Structure 1
């Protein structure tokens, strides 16, 4: 006889995650959470008076976020009774993954977003999805480029070029902001390929929890010695934003991997087009001085179309870009 306290919640959760309306709602909610990371970070910089070139403060802020997120993920892992014990060779790989996927990726992300707008950042970081497609073509024999992917890559590239153009359609590209965010996407794509390989041995939540922990410890270790403590004080609003940003990662990843447990990766990944869409919309609403223009709208439409195209009828897990 099943225990009502244990079996029924799992039953109802599985029912939601296999219902087409439930899948749509949860997938869009995850994308909305990831998209909200852009205005939250920009507002956090203002609340903490972090200068765009103060990368020590940026690294510490990122380290705090992902240390908290790792703790929340480990709580979920314990509740689900997933095996957490690591073999020595897996430990080394997870440390490397943490350095890449959390440490290096979010160094570029936090530094880049400090030098550009939240709306532009939401579009540029979507480059990670397209880098994954290219790397998967090189790395996997069963995940080669096809017409949909080539079209999607072309649309995505066109969108990125468009948002980096001025009103005269001259390229206006800044390495500090735009270049750093594209590098964040590239490092994220490399980390995604590594995580895919590790997922044959470990549960994806366990992989994410450990790599977040290792990456956050690295960032705190590197950032704290150079931090100016007098210009890095938390008021109530800053604490709320930090906790929320940690919840973004923990809640979104937990729900996303639950969706992947019951559904094909390709059927879920297509909803990732809502990450840049929600990021752009929320940034325009919550960040003072940010608004739409025809270049931003055109770039967003092209990148969104590209994400949908590369994920159409995609049934491998390699297209999953572990986003914000």
Structure 2
């Protein structure tokens, strides 16, 4: 029992740490857009910036694995297509939508909307895992969570606002991320979590650079020392958060660790208020945060009798 509780605490601490890191990404990205003077509608600049972040993160992780555990980097011919698909979905598509969507929303909105990843994962898990079916707690949690996402789009004038290329893109990003979560559990069997992270970041980042760089204007980004610092922080954020999270996924149920993702919208909203000029809490943002947190906790709630049977 003590060993089981110790494992649960370690999992909880790692999962919360990952969620805080992901939460910090929202103000970092918003400040990066300002610092690098990127236009809100410059899609290619966002793709290139994302590609730089993830390619750098992937290369650093792969290079580090050469010295730590070189054998783990080797994959079979059958695993190569999995890594390519995973890089396209988990890195390329997910962050294409997130980076471009976030440029047209606030940092707080982005942090709350991204919580949809948890809810989409719960829905997909119902169809993929016989021991992770929908129940009344999850149903209530999904209703609360998606209601919170709706509240996040309510403005000061009590009017609902929604842009497909803004909020819509972020929601598509969460759906793509949920698909990637299931893929990591189902398809990446036999691949070391750190190797999976390194290869998918490198492949996804390289594809984004190949697509975006030839079409990007010359003055689309203006790098400063602060801008470079933000890029480097974002890269290391990806290395640590993804590697640790995929390690948790490898040895735990996706539904069990996703409860800790309630920290992401909380930390993202608080850090956005602190670091992004002009952002502040509103009654709708507070209501959205409460609903999303309750939703994430509800979809992962397990009665004590169920926990004792595990």
Distance 1:127 1:265 in 2: 15
Higher mean displacement: 69-78 or 97-106: 69-78
2:251 is aligned with 1:255: no
> Residues 76, 270 of structure 1: CA spacing in aligned structure 2 closer, same or farther, 3 A cutoff?
farther
What is the TM-score when the length of structure 2 is the normalising length?
Answer: 0.89
Counterparts in 2 of 1:1-324, with a 5 A limit?
18=6, 23-78=11-66, 79-81=68-70, 83-167=72-156, 169-258=158-247, 268-313=257-302
User: RMSD between aligned alpha carbons?
Assistant: 2.3
Instruction: Please tell me whether the aligned partners of residues 267 and 313 of structure 1 are also in contact (alpha carbons under 8 angstroms).
Output: no
Instruction: Please tell me whether the aligned partners of residues 193 and 247 of structure 2 are also in contact (alpha carbons under 8 angstroms).
Output: no
Q: Per-residue CA shift, 1:260-310, capped at 9, x if unaligned?
A: 677666554322110110000000110000000000000011011111112
> Residues 162, 82 of structure 1: CA spacing in aligned structure 2 closer, same or farther, 3 A cutoff?
farther
> Residues 138, 52 of structure 1: CA spacing in aligned structure 2 closer, same or farther, 3 A cutoff?
same
Instruction: Please tell me whether the aligned partners of residues 45 and 216 of structure 2 are also in contact (alpha carbons under 8 angstroms).
Output: yes
> Residues 201, 271 of structure 1: CA spacing in aligned structure 2 closer, same or farther, 3 A cutoff?
same
Q: Where does the alignment leave 5 or more consecutive residues of structure 2 unmatched?
A: 304-310
Distance 1:190 1:267 in 2: 17
1:171 deviates by: 2.6
1:26 deviates by: 3.5
Instruction: Please tell me whether the aligned partners of residues 105 and 185 of structure 1 are also in contact (alpha carbons under 8 angstroms).
Output: yes
What is the TM-score when the length of structure 1 is the normalising length?
Answer: 0.85
> Residues 289, 308 of structure 1: CA spacing in aligned structure 2 closer, same or farther, 3 A cutoff?
same
Instruction: Please tell me whether the aligned partners of residues 152 and 310 of structure 1 are also in contact (alpha carbons under 8 angstroms).
Output: yes
Q: Per-residue CA shift, 1:170-217, capped at 9, x if unaligned?
A: 432111210010010111111222121123222232222211111111
Distance 1:207 1:297 in 2: 37
Equivalent pairs counted in the alignment come to 299
> Residues 186, 24 of structure 1: CA spacing in aligned structure 2 closer, same or farther, 3 A cutoff?
closer
Q: Where does the alignment leave 5 or more consecutive residues of structure 1 unmatched?
A: 1-14, 315-324
Distance 1:265 1:138 in 2: 13
Distance 1:23 1:98 in 2: 25
